[in-house]
A and B are shown apart, each in its own frame.
Chain A
């Protein structure tokens, strides 16, 4: 009890005298804040991208690709094959037959608003059941494209990032002119980065004959997946890979998540080392300026433990402050920032917004506290080991 009371008393003295060391303490806080801001902001890129990729995928939807294709871009099916897949057991049946959409996936060159240079925007040809397969797709302006017409609908994120995709615009791709008849949202998912049209209209425009590239099928239940997959892989007329849509989209975001994750952590670790040295300086000088005070306390009978605790507490308070400032800055500057990048697997653009999640903020503050602990522990031990007589005699 005495120990605890001593610890609290010394800590309070320390914290109250922080103002006298404002300059040096501010340096430590700024160091922590800088590290946390960079850490959180960089990882918010990965988090935002992952949110877009993950939220589009449903466990109750299966995607079927030609065996060996890891993306829709390199897959391909004949019409008869897509029929077999759509009719397979496990697929939900609606009033108009199986709830499945055979699709084409191509890219079109559309200028990016921010730079004016061309970018690969996905153009997806979908079947009539596509809106049943993905009920999250919702028209927010205009209407759906009509079957058989050269009309497209544009995801809201794509319309925001790329020029000339506004509602009502006309687009000339190849020999055909297309009209944007609607803008859609899809609960913030990947589909909002795309342009959609009728697959049967896209086939002749892209000289694809009667072929498709992928089939998306809504399953009766999430558990029907095994039955559906087994039926297709056992069928001698097909050579296919079947995956849950949620797994497929998560795998698609792997490259970027890994790259940003590795770089973000590497940069943060290096910065943290630098900032910890700064914090060590601050805490050593804090201890040095209070040498006499600490020695006096020790002479009065305060033990070493409370002195250690008080220095550590001061360092942790500075770290917490820095972590909160850094996290707050990252939140203010980065969160919600709209951008687009290349999804390497499909070679096309994905629009997303940076996302500073609570998890990232907690991670950032924890990170700051670890730095504070490391920066405080050695000065704290030094303070406790100070020879009382010598310190008192000094100055």
Chain B
């Protein structure tokens, strides 16, 4: 702390150079925060998905439907708690570009099995009382400026009504919020019994969500469920929700590896830029360092001074860059909602970023600091 003033004066010695280096570090950490937010947006589902929930889908593919009678059969499997189902509607709201997930569900059981979808008791009651009622996530409602009570027409694609127009008119009875920042607030949920009413009761659902009593026995329970339907017309494949989410994310591609490769290049370039700045500034100050040593600064103290200067510069750049990205992300969020329902910089990434800033400082200051430490007084003073 005693030397803070000295460090500061040293940094201000070449104001423009320090400023440019600082700004390039700011940009690097801004980019780091942004890339981490994108990465989290691609795999948040994997992290939030419960190990205590299983998904049972049709063995051939998820687009194949399953009979509704499976619900009670799955329910009697040992180790199974609540069982509910969900069905992909895939309708169009005004324009195909307004994509969002629409799911036909059983309101009461669905909300019980997904406690992270928070709906007020009044809204829940209204939903249970309104057959064409639907609830939307907070972000989705904001995107289309929907209010509770609005009528929302959605054009059917797969689920064309048995008679009448191909448009379903839903009444928005509630807006749900996520219990944590990782909950998808962009879904549209409506009642499966309303769907069946419109298409004629065909007794089919998309997939089952199965709550299990002991997550440690997930594999065993999953096998028991699938065994019941083996060799039937609709065989099933049951996995934990997390495994399902992971395989879904992997279908998109290895986004994580691509983003980390970009981060790697960014930091490599910034390390060179910052390291070059530190090396230049130490070279210019050779004689000054000699003077410091002459007046009694130890080799270690000189090494520490140079390192501290580099860490101060990188640390300040890192903090400003991360702070900027935290400010900007909420503004970008609505634009990316359709692609990335969850979009924010995870706190862990902020912590890693700060750690990286310090590492960057140490790495960029390392060689120049070592040079400063080894410097002989006579040699340093002679150079000039």
Contact = CB atoms under 8 A, between A and B. Distances in A.
B237 A23 contact: no
A386 interface: no
Contact of B158 (A23, A30, A74, A173): A74
A174 B63 CA distance: 13
A259 B277 CA distance: 36
Contacts of B27: 270-271, 273-274, 277
Nearest to A75: B157
A347 B250 contact: no
B34 interface: yes
A73 interface: yes
B159 to A, nearest CB: 9
Contacts of A70: 92, 96
Nearest to B155: A68
Contacts of B254: 114, 339
Interface in B26-55: 27-28, 30-31, 34-35, 38
A267 B270 CA distance: 15
B265 A37 contact: yes
- A interface bracket (residues with beta carbon within 8 Å of B): 35 or more
A9 interface: no
Contacts of A45: 258
Nearest to A264: B262
- B interface bracket (residues with beta carbon within 8 Å of A): 35 or more
B273 A31 contact: yes
B279 interface: yes
A50 to B, nearest CB: 15
B17 A271 contact: no
Contacts of A275: 24, 269, 273
Contacts of B123: none
A281 to B, nearest CB: 5
A209 to B, nearest CB: 13
A263 interface: yes
Given A117-B250, A278-B272, 14 more contacts: A31-B273, A68-B166, A120-B61, A120-B62, A120-B63, A174-B234, A271-B27, A274-B23, A274-B27, A274-B31, A274-B273, A339-B253, A339-B254, A349-B251
The 5 closest A-B pairs by CB, nearest first: A74-B157, A117-B247, A274-B27, A278-B273, A34-B269
28 contacts: A23-B276, A23-B279, A26-B272, A27-B272, A38-B262, A68-B155, A106-B63, A107-B62, A107-B63, A108-B60, A114-B254, A115-B250, A118-B247, A120-B61, A120-B63, A174-B60, A270-B27, A270-B34, A273-B27, A274-B27, A277-B24, A278-B24, A281-B277, A284-B16, A284-B17, A285-B280, A344-B99, A347-B63
Interface of B: 16-17, 20-21, 23-24, 27-28, 30-31, 34-35, 38, 59-64, 90, 92, 96, 99, 155, 157-158, 166, 233-235, 237, 243, 246-247, 250-254, 258, 262, 265-266, 268-270, 272-273, 275-277, 279-280, 339
